[in-house]
């Protein structure tokens, strides 16, 4: 038997899970941008996922990707400030700095993440400049790669490229700006950059794949894009509890791409059909075919590399994959706890079923996380509909 975790570890995890539950609120912060199918406004959590995926696709470092996971968390307190509207820049900056101190102050090692956020905001280091570049280019192509972009949004993009914050990209990243200009003029960009943009445009569809899980506040279903962002943030925050040999940067990259296949296959709830619907032979085949199609949109070598990373996650054998899989099971448990039962109530899950379907997987890669979650889950099952 494993020894019970110490009081220090349990207190540490209480703080980390509280931060990650607070971070869930970013999924309810709406931006001025809309999804590429124009169905609804984009939220800041799925934007953060998409920008981090841009960074992955365009060769950013692990540090730059980590910055992008964090960069918009302050909007939980401050909201989004669209670039085409006038703002009191000094007041916004002060409010965001205060929000950053509050949010990262929730963590036992929050100073390190606060420093990373401040580095991004300053935009002076190579990693911060790369992260800023991704953050500023994604909204351009979010508009320009849409099948039928909104005219007023196209006008905002045109102004942004000519006289706004994106103007500097003509000097920093002319290839991207030339591609954007081509799209403005009704021409198709070409080359490997165009392949990456096609992959990233396709990825936007993940924002419309609904999961069974509710947000922590119980207000709606979570989508798979914001789930992927939240999981990558889990990896960053829970890194001190990873096992030996785990590379957190690789884990984050796995989690950013792990659910892209759901664009074709949809989400299959782990508790559906008495736990029997998840990862059957037909589903595994459909996911493999989806992976071939979606990663095949990228330049061949890059697509093969990400396809292999996705397959490593699915195989669940390496230290990185085992930890990533544990987090993929842990995050919905925390959301069910926070939302008063969530899918457990909907699917009439028992504690024993939770242990069998979820707990053993979490314990394999993150035993301390499962100790904390299982104790918290017992409170629900002791008093809930199965208690």
Where is pLDDT greater, at 9 or 187? 187
- By DSSP bridging, strand 30-34 and strand 221-223 are unpaired
What are 221's strand-pairing partners? 214
| DSSP notation for 217-241 | TSSSEEEHHHHHHHHHHHHHHTGGG
In the numeric block, the tokens 């790669």 are attached to 145
pLDDT at 3: 45
pLDDT of 313 above 80 = yes
Per residue in 179-228, pLDDT (tens digit) is: 999 999 999 999 999 999 999 999 999 999 999 999 999 999 999 999 99
Per residue in 10-27, pLDDT (tens digit) is: 899 999 999 999 999 999
Per residue in 126-153, pLDDT (tens digit) is: 999 999 999 999 999 999 999 999 999 9
pLDDT at 84: 84
pLDDT of 384 above 80 = no
pLDDT at 4: 55
Per-residue pLDDT averaged across 353-357, rounded?
A: 95
pLDDT at 83: 86
Per residue in 242-260, pLDDT (tens digit) is: 999 999 999 999 999 999 9
Hey, CA dihedral for 103, 105, 108, 112, is it positive or negative?
positive
Report the b/e string of 340-356 with b at 16+ CB within 10 A. ebbbbbebebebebbee
pLDDT at 386: 45
pLDDT at 387: 42
Where is pLDDT greater, at 117 or 281? 117
5 band by pLDDT with thresholds 50, 70 and 90: low
| Rounded Cα gap, residues 228 and 261, in angstroms | 12
pLDDT of 1 above 60 = no
* Conformational region of residue 374, where left means phi above 0, alpha means psi within -120 to 50, and beta covers everything else: alpha
Per residue in 33-55, pLDDT (tens digit) is: 999 999 999 999 999 999 999 99
275 band by pLDDT with thresholds 50, 70 and 90: low
pLDDT at 10: 85
| Rounded Cα gap, residues 335 and 217, in angstroms | 8
pLDDT at 273: 63
pLDDT of 267 above 70 = yes
What are 214's strand-pairing partners? 221
pLDDT at 86: 86
270 band by pLDDT with thresholds 50, 70 and 90: confident
3-state class percentages of the chain: helix first, strand second, coil last, to nearest 5: 70, 5, 25
Q: 132 Cβ partners below 8 Å, 6+ apart? A: 120, 123
| Rounded Cα gap, residues 215 and 222, in angstroms | 6
């Amino acid at each position: 038997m494993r020894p019970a975790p110490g009081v220090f570890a349990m207190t540490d995890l209480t703080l980390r899970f509280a931060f990650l539950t607070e971070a869930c609120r970013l999924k309810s912060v709406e931006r001025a941008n809309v999804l590429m199918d124009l169905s609804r406004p984009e939220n800041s959590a799925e934007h953060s996922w998409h920008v981090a995926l841009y960074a992955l696709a365009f060769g950013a470092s692990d540090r730059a990707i980590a910055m992008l996971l964090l960069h918009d968390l302050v909007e939980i307190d401050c909201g989004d400030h669209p670039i085409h509207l006038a703002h009191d820049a000094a007041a916004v900056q002060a409010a965001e700095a205060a929000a950053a101190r509050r949010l990262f102050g929730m963590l036992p090692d929050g100073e390190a993440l606060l420093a990373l956020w401040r580095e991004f905001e300053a935009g002076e280091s190579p990693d911060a400049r790369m992260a800023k570049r991704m953050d500023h280019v994604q909204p351009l192509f979010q508009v320009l790669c849409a099948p039928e972009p909104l005219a007023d949004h196209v006008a905002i993009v045109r102004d942004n490229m000519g006289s706004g914050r994106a103007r500097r990209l003509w000097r920093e990243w002319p290839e991207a700006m030339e591609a954007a200009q081509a799209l403005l003029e009704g021409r198709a960009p070409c080359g490997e950059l165009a392949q990456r943009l096609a992959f990233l445009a396709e990825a936007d569809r993940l924002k419309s794949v609904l999961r069974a899980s509710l947000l922590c506040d119980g207000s709606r279903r979570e989508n798979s894009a914001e789930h992927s962002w939240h999981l990558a943030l889990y990896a960053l925050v829970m890194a001190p509890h990873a096992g030996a040999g785990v590379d957190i940067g690789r884990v984050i990259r796995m989690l950013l791409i792990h659910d892209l296949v759901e664009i074709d296959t949809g989400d299959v709830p782990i508790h559906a059909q008495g736990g029997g619907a998840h990862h059957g032979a037909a589903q595994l085949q459909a996911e493999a075919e989806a992976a071939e199609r979606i990663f095949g949109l990228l330049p061949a070598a890059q697509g093969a590399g990400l396809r292999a990373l996705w397959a490593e996650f699915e195989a669940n054998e390496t230290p990185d994959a085992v930890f990533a899989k544990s987090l993929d099971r842990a995050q919905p448990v925390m959301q069910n706890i926070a939302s008063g039962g969530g899918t457990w109530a909907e699917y009439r899950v028992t504690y024993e079923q939770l242990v069998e379907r979820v707990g053993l997987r979490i314990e394999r890669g993150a035993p301390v996380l499962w100790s904390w979650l299982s104790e918290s889950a017992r409170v629900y099952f002791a008093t809930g509909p199965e208690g």
